[in-house]
Amino acid sequence: MITGILLALLAGSLVSLQTIFNSKVNERTGSWSTTTMVLFTGFIASFVISLLLEGKNTFSFQHMQPWYWLSGAIGVGVVFCLVQGMKLLGPTYAISIVLTSQLSFALLFDSMGWLGLEQIPFSWNQLIGVLVIVGGIILFKFGGLSKETSDSTDNPAHSVASKS
């Protein structure tokens, strides 16, 4: 279990890091070029690592449901939407919404047993946990708004400095 937790923490940090890198690439090129570059370099890296670690088994695709092949196309949507979300919302706000969405849909898919997942009974504690996270995002995004507004109205120099 500890290994799973460590890997999940590493995955979270890598997703955030990749999203920042993607955003920086997108500043120099378009969103579709960014998506193409990200997925192409990911393909090359995973293909080489797979050949090194799995050898011939890299090409063993027996007993796979046909719809699983859509995963790469879904990845296009993931990268494109993350790049756009970062551009429009900033890194922290965008990633917090993405993670909440992931958690919500994972809860839905687990509870319903969709897509070949083992059905895990829904509990109200799980829903409350998701709602607490949503509340945290709202607090994070809008909690300091009134202080910033009062600072800029009380101090005209602050509002001029913040506009320049």
CA nearest to 123, candidates 111, 135, 113, 136: 111
Q: CA triplet 100, 65, 74: central angle to 5 degrees?
A: 35
Confidence of residue 138 (pLDDT cuts 50, 70, 90): confident
Residue 48: predicted pLDDT:
96
Contact (CB, 8 A) for 3 and 48: no
Three-state DSSP class for residue 164:
coil
Overall pTM > 0.85? no
Express each pLDDT in 143-162 by its tens digit. 876 555 545 444 444 444 44
Q: What percent of the chain has pLDDT over 90?
A: 38
5-64 tens-digit pLDDT: 999 999 989 988 888 898 889 999 998 999 999 999 999 999 999 999 999 888 888 888
